[in-house]
Copies of this chain bind each other. A is one copy, B any other.
Amino acid sequence: MPFDMNLVQRGARLRRSPFFEATQRYGAKAYTVYNHMLFPICFADLEEEYWHLVHHVTLWDVCVERQVEITGPDAFTFTNMLTPRDLARCAVGQGKYVVITAENGGIINDPVLLRLGENHFWLAAADSDVLLWARGVAVNSGLRVEIREPDVSPLQVQGPKAKEVARTLFGDRVLQLRYYHFFETGLDGIPVVVTRTGWSGEVGYEIYLRDGSRGDELWERIMEAGRPHNIRPTGPSDIRRIEAGILNWGADMTPENNVYEVGLDYLVDGNKRSDYIGREALQRIKAEGVKRKLVGIEIDGARIEMNATKWRAKVGGDTVGRVTSAIYSPRLKKNIGYATVPVAYAAPGTGLRVKMSGIGERRATVVPKPFVDPNKQIPKA
């Protein structure tokens, strides 16, 4: 049994997305809360939705990726200060997966950044108020920036048929769109930004709605274009993203972690000239080497349900780390996941024991990530 509990929305504190009515109409049966908003994560059955993502195409309401918009004459300088990636190498019309770092190098958030103009940026935030972080940093920065949440609501269209759906909607230009690039356009007059990004490891796009009053229209327009390709609304798939080695901020990485611990070294541009928050700490951490690492693991035995707490990872009776995400992959027919462990136990082949709450201990082994290599032909069923 997956961990499942009755949660109640009480009062109007939690925000609903412009697609909320549509998700209700299409039978969303489970919502979680993310960035203070309701997030539809299941419409039918999680494994059925996984297979649909792998074979066909799926539509996700990811408005919970709330946007932080940075504008003003110093917007480039300011935004470039928030991340170890060198935004001088990010052209207008281009996006980047970035980490937002604290002074100690900790990962405050891992948004997709879009550069809409020389001095115009969006950050599509994971589950922490990076809007408040950025506004706080701006207070004493002496830079002329405006930082706010714009009226922007993203959807994801993910799966092998996503390209055909996007082509029906936006024409052949989507076929030329490179990974992490985007264009601004309209769909029957609905203003959108279309990006070649996603959280699935499959081909996919995000469609950022720029007028919250037209959510229902956009949703139906995408469903219509997707019908010949068997599109269906689902939540994001933890099975698929773990197979792909994608990390979930808040579970697999938190402000207690830095990029070197979680294998996101490539998000630091070593040659970046301008200063940024966390630079000194990251240089020191890199020079000294990290003490623990996030590794891939396989857990022996029968199919597990996804962890709802961070299970203990043990060696010789001692707790040495934590399992941050773990799930059964029906394609690999294995229990796969991630654990943070001391570097001494990070080598592939290392034996661990995992203590699963309420279930007991199982043997586990450190393995390389990702579990599904995008360049290898892995049977899809």
Contacts and interface: CB of A to CB of B under 8 A. Distances in A.
Interface of A: 2-14, 16, 29-34, 36, 38, 41-42, 102-103, 108, 127-130, 132-142, 238, 248-251, 277, 306-310, 324-325
A250 B4 CA distance: 26
Nearest to A242: B11
Contact of A32 (B9, B308, B310): B9
A34 B36 CA distance: 8
Contact of A140 (B36, B132, B140): B140
A248 B130 contact: no
Nearest to A29: B6
A139 B248 contact: no
Prevailing SS type, chain A contact patch: loop
B30 A6 contact: yes
A7 B28 CA distance: 10
A12 B325 contact: yes
A243 to B, nearest CB: 15
Contacts of A16: 309
Contact of A5 (B7, B134, B138): B7
A309 B21 CA distance: 12
A16 B136 CA distance: 28
A36 B136 contact: no
Nearest to A103: B139
Nearest to A236: B10
Minimum-distance CB pairs A-B, first 5: A136-B136, A7-B7, A33-B33, A140-B140, A129-B129
Contact of A12 (B136, B141, B308): B308
A249 B12 CA distance: 10
Contacts of A36: 127-128, 250
Contacts of A129: 128-129, 132-133
A251 B139 contact: no
Nearest to A8: B30
Most buried by B among A11, A14, A32, A137: A11
Given A11-B307, A11-B325, 20 more contacts: A5-B8, A7-B33, A8-B30, A8-B32, A8-B42, A10-B41, A11-B306, A12-B307, A12-B309, A12-B324, A12-B325, A13-B127, A13-B248, A36-B128, A128-B129, A129-B129, A133-B133, A136-B136, A136-B137, A139-B277
A31 B12 contact: no
Given A29-B6, A132-B129, A250-B36, A11 B238 contact: yes
Most buried by B among A14, A31, A38, A136: A136
B308 A11 contact: yes
Nearest to A277: B139
A132 B136 contact: yes
A326 to B, nearest CB: 9
Contacts of A132: 108, 128-130, 132-133, 136
B9 A6 contact: no
Contacts of A11: 238, 248, 251, 306-308, 325
Contacts of A251: 11-13
Nearest to A137: B136
A11 B327 CA distance: 9
A242 to B, nearest CB: 10
A329 to B, nearest CB: 15
